[in-house]
């Protein structure tokens, strides 16, 4: 999945797993692309912050809106828009570092981020993130690869079997902002605790499904969050080929996005068109809008602390 670069080169953090409108060869093509999130590193805050504002330490911070009235994925110039410093210590590993200065997109604190991609002998792409700050800030990093187990651009993903290890989820408003409650998935189209076709309930008469134009929601892990402990968050299977994608993480949530807003305008590698629901994302994360939701796990990072996040994408055939 990750495309290796030579030592000393400086690709964007998106360059290693992302497809674009045409054969892309320079970092500038990625930075200036009209489809900025394909395979991208997302920050400072993945997912949405309501109205592009939050209060931290009694101070209100305003973030530029880029998704209606909300800030999405760190606002217009999130981490996907920058060329990261890059080091390749061995043929399986890429290390990316980035400095996000104080007041970058309105966020407080001089944030230093390190992201490492490792290809393992177990057919895994392991992504680790660490970050430090010199002022209290909020942070929620994630990875935004799109997947189709038929092959890129080869039809709908609605026939994939999906399992999500979560008995609760975060319902959203019409603006895709969490309501603040964490209801159970029992009896709803959000129950993926057993393998279920992605498209099986996609047209169900459910207000929260309609608010997301189908699936664009966060699921809540059932297991207690423990440092350095990975759990199986989700598993997707394409039944005809037997191709499998598993996602493990130490984060409290995973966002499942079903490609609802893909419209055929984007062409990827080989000129393949990415139409409606022809790819899905599984983004490990803290919950959307956590800085404004006191009942959600905290996303505050303070001086002297280190933010840590691990996500593992494992492929197999059954």
Which bin fits 4, alpha (ψ -120 to 50), beta or left (φ > 0)?
A: beta
Catalytic residue status for 283: yes
Sign of the alpha-carbon dihedral angle for 31, 33, 38, 42: positive
Question: Tokens 């001089």 appear where?
Answer: 110
Catalytic residue status for 69: no
What whole-number distance in Å separates Cα of residue 207 and Cα of residue 169? 14
Residues in contact with 244: Cβ distance below 8 Å, sequence separation at least 6, in sequence order:
149, 235, 236, 237, 238, 315, 316, 317, 318
The catalytically annotated residue of 73, 144, 150, 286 is 144
Question: Token pair of 214, please?
Answer: 């189908």
The catalytically annotated residue of 238, 283, 286, 309 is 283
What whole-number distance in Å separates Cα of residue 138 and Cα of residue 52? 13
Question: Token pair of 179, please?
Answer: 């309501």
Residues annotated as catalytic are 144, 283
């Amino acid at each position: 999945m990750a495309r290796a670069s030579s030592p000393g080169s400086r690709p964007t953090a998106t360059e290693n797993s992302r497809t674009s409108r045409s054969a892309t060869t320079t970092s500038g093509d990625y930075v200036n692309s009209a489809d900025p999130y394909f395979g991208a590193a997302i920050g400072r805050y993945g997912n949405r912050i309501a109205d592009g504002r939050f209060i931290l330490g009694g101070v209100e911070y305003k973030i530029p809106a880029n998704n209606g009235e909300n800030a999405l994925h760190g606002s217009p110039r999130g981490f996907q828009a920058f060329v990261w410093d890059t080091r390749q210590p061995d043929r399986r590993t890429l290390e990316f570092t980035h400095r996000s200065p104080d007041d970058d997109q309105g966020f407080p604190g001089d944030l230093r981020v390190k992201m490492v991609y490792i290809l393992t002998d177990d057919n895994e792409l392991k992504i680790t993130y660490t970050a430090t700050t010199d002022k209290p800030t909020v942070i929620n990093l994630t990875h935004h690869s799109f997947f189709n187990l038929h092959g890129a651009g080869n039809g709908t993903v609605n026939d994939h079997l999906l399992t999500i290890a979560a008995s609760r989820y975060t319902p959203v408003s019409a603006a895709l902002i969490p309501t603040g409650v964490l209801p159970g998935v029992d009896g709803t189209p959000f129950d993926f605790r057993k393998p279920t076709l992605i498209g099986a309930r996609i047209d169900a008469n459910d207000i929260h499904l309609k608010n997301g134009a189908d699936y664009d929601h966060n699921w809540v892990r059932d297991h207690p969050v423990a440092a350095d402990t990975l759990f199986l968050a989700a598993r997707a299977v394409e039944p005809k080929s037997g191709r499998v994608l598993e996602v493990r993480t130490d984060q409290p949530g995973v966002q499942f996005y079903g490609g609802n807003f893909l419209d055929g305008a984007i062409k990827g590698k080989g000129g393949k068109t990415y139409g409606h629901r022809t790819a899905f994302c599984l983004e490990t994360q803290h919950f959307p809008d956590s800085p404004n939701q006191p009942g959600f796990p905290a996303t505050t990072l303070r001086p002297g602390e280190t933010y840590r996040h691990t996500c593992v994408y494992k492929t197999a055939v059954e």
